């Protein structure tokens, strides 16, 4: 580049407004979010939120964590600025959200969920290699057992399982139901909570052989003696039954019409099929779609859009397939801004 060109670059401003802090504002927003994310991740790794269940001065906290005092106080101030910590004189302690969600003994701990998210975040650091070589391939059963199930369990118990099972409990016929199949139920928290809402209900969680061990752990934790497990692959194995209710929530087969005949066979006449899945949203998030395609698990092919697989269809097409297999759609119940629950009955 010639000296004349450089001089021209300096005196001619860009042909659009440029903020003072960063030429591309969306990158500044991304950097700010990354600062917060890694501050929380680092605090978790150090055990900061476990220490601050009771007030501590930054000096005492630094001594307990083995960190530099002048940096520790800056971290505490940053976390307090976001409401995760609370100042008490010269000391800091957890705010209500940190106590509930980030401390190891918190009632709604989300450490596994954050670890799952961190895997996604750090995969972006490897983007050039993944673009050249293709997505990371994970072993399906181990991935579900060790990563997906703990993460989904933590997310569900933070309000979703309570809300969804409340919706189910208000459906006509739920109180009279005596048997329920939680299809691909993973952690089994929906089956456990539904049995708590209906004292005469017995539930069976059906999932992969490597997953049901984790299911049993949750059954033991909640002392759910009316919940049992059956190991199998719903893509290939027959389902047990018949049941009064078949319940499915956010599993990979939830929009696959090939499974519907098996589901129908697992229901008694008049039984209910309850299927909670993501809504069909015409809006797209290209970054989320790209992230969805940066990883996969063996034996499963994905579609371009996130949370969709090779045989996934639209909910409208899925509902037509339900009707064609003798499952009459009674209603579609909104769950939240991203999902809804189809309620179908077997028979006329």
pLDDT tens, 254-298?
788 999 999 999 999 999 999 998 887 666 788 888 888 888 877
To the nearest whole percent, how much of the chain has pLDDT over 90?
58
C-alpha–C-alpha distance, residues 325 and 317, integer Å: 13
Domain boundary among 70, 91, 109: 109
Domain boundary among 109, 138, 171: 109
Is the model's pLDDT at 336 over the cut of 70?
Answer: yes
pLDDT-based confidence at residue 11 (cuts at 50, 70, 90): low
- The average pLDDT across 130-155 equals 85
331 and 197 part of one domain: yes
- Determine the pLDDT at residue 68: 97
Torsion, Cα of 191, 262, 280, 165 (10° steps)? -20
Give the position of tokens 């089956």: 191
**294 located within any domain:** no
202 and 305 part of one domain: yes
311 and 191 part of one domain: yes
**323 located within any domain:** yes
128 CB-near residues (< 8 Å, 6+ apart): none
54 and 197 part of one domain: no
Which of 109-113, 131-135, 140-144, 231-235 shows the lowest per-residue confidence on average (mean pLDDT)? 140-144
Q: What are the φ and ψ backbone dihedral angles of 145, each rounded to 5 degrees?
A: -65, -50
Is the model's pLDDT at 2 over the cut of 70?
Answer: no
C-alpha–C-alpha distance, residues 285 and 287, integer Å: 6
CATH number at residue 63: 1.10.10.10
Is the model's pLDDT at 48 over the cut of 90?
Answer: yes
The number of distinct structural domains making up the chain is 2
Q: What is the pLDDT of residues 179-226, one digit of tens each?
A: 999 999 999 999 999 999 999 999 999 998 988 988 999 999 999 999
**210 located within any domain:** yes
66 and 182 part of one domain: no
Nearest CA among 173, 330, 344, 133 for reference residue 248:
344
Residue 18: CB atoms within 10 A of its CB come to 11
342: left (phi over 0), alpha (psi -120 to 50) or beta: beta
77 and 173 part of one domain: no
Of the two residues 24 and 136, the one the predictor is more confident about is 136
Give the position of tokens 């993501």: 278
308 and 181 part of one domain: yes
- Determine the pLDDT at residue 274: 97
- Determine the pLDDT at residue 292: 85
* β-strand pairing of 227-231 with 202-207: parallel
319 and 243 part of one domain: yes
Of the two residues 81 and 112, the one the predictor is more confident about is 81
C-alpha–C-alpha distance, residues 273 and 65, integer Å: 51
In the structure encoding, which two tokens stand for residue 208, read together?
A: 């992969």
- The average pLDDT across 231-238 equals 88
**44 located within any domain:** yes
Domain boundary among 47, 77, 109: 109
> Cα–Cα distances in Å, from 193 out to 165, 175, 189, 334?
7, 14, 6, 19
**188 located within any domain:** yes
**7 located within any domain:** no
Q: What is the pLDDT of residues 144-187, one digit of tens each?
A: 778 888 888 888 888 899 999 999 999 999 999 999 999 999 99
Q: Is 169 helix (H, G, I), strand (E, B) or coil?
A: helix
175 and 312 part of one domain: yes
270: left (phi over 0), alpha (psi -120 to 50) or beta: left
In the structure encoding, which two tokens stand for residue 299, read together?
A: 């034996």
**144 located within any domain:** no
96 and 189 part of one domain: no
C-alpha–C-alpha distance, residues 73 and 57, integer Å: 9
**206 located within any domain:** yes
Strand segments (E) across 153-266: 179-183, 202-207, 227-231, 243-249
* β-strand pairing of 243-249 with 267-278: parallel
CATH number at residue 234: 3.40.50.150
13 CB-near residues (< 8 Å, 6+ apart): none
C-alpha–C-alpha distance, residues 185 and 191, integer Å: 8
- Determine the pLDDT at residue 332: 94
187 and 331 part of one domain: yes
The residue segments making up the domain with residue 60 are: 17-109
- The average pLDDT across 26-52 equals 92
pLDDT-based confidence at residue 22 (cuts at 50, 70, 90): low
C-alpha–C-alpha distance, residues 186 and 180, integer Å: 15
C-alpha–C-alpha distance, residues 84 and 95, integer Å: 5
Please state the pTM of the whole predicted model: 0.82
Q: What is the pLDDT of residues 68-111, one digit of tens each?
A: 999 999 999 999 999 999 999 999 999 999 999 999 888 888 88
236 and 341 part of one domain: yes
């Amino acid at each position: 580049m010639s000296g004349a060109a450089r001089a021209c670059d300096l005196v001619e401003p860009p042909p659009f407004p440029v903020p003072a802090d960063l030429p591309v504002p969306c990158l500044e927003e991304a950097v700010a979010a990354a600062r917060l994310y890694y501050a929380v991740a680092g605090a978790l790794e150090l055990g900061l939120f476990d220490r601050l269940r009771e007030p501590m001065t930054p000096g005492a906290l630094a001594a307990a964590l083995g960190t530099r005092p002048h940096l520790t106080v800056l971290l505490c101030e940053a976390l307090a600025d976001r409401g995760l910590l609370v100042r008490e004189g010269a000391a800091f302690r957890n705010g209500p959200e940190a106590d509930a969600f980030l401390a190891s003994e918190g009632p709604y701990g989300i450490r596994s969920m954050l670890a799952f998210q961190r895997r996604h975040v750090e995969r972006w650091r490897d983007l050039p290699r993944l673009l050249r070589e293709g997505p990371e391939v994970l072993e399906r059963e181990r991935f579900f057992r060790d990563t997906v199930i703990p993460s989904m369990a933590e997310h569900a118990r933070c309000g979703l399982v309570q809300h969804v099972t409340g919706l189910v409990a208000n459906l006509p016929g739920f109180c009279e139901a005596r048997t329920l199949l939680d299809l691909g139920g993973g952690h089994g928290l929906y089956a456990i909570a539904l049995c708590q809402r209906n004292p005469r209900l017995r539930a069976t969680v059906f999932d992969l052989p490597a997953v049901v061990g984790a299911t049993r752990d949750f059954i033991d934790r909640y002392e759910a003696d009316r919940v049992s497990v059956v190991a199998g692959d719903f893509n290939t194995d027959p389902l047990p039954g018949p049941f009064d209710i078949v319940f499915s929530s956010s599993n990979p087969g939830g929009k696959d019409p090939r499974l519907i005949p098996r589901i129908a066979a697992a229901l008694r006449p008049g039984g209910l099929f309850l299927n909670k899945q993501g809504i069909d949203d015409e809006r797209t998030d290209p970054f989320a779609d790209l992230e969805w395609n940066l990883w996969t698990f063996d034996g499963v092919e994905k579609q371009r859009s996130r949370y969709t697989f090779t045989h996934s269809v639209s909910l409208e097409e899925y509902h037509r397939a339900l009707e064609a297999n003798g499952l009459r759609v009674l209603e579609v119940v909104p769950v939240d801004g991203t999902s809804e629950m189809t309620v179908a009955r077997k028979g006329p």
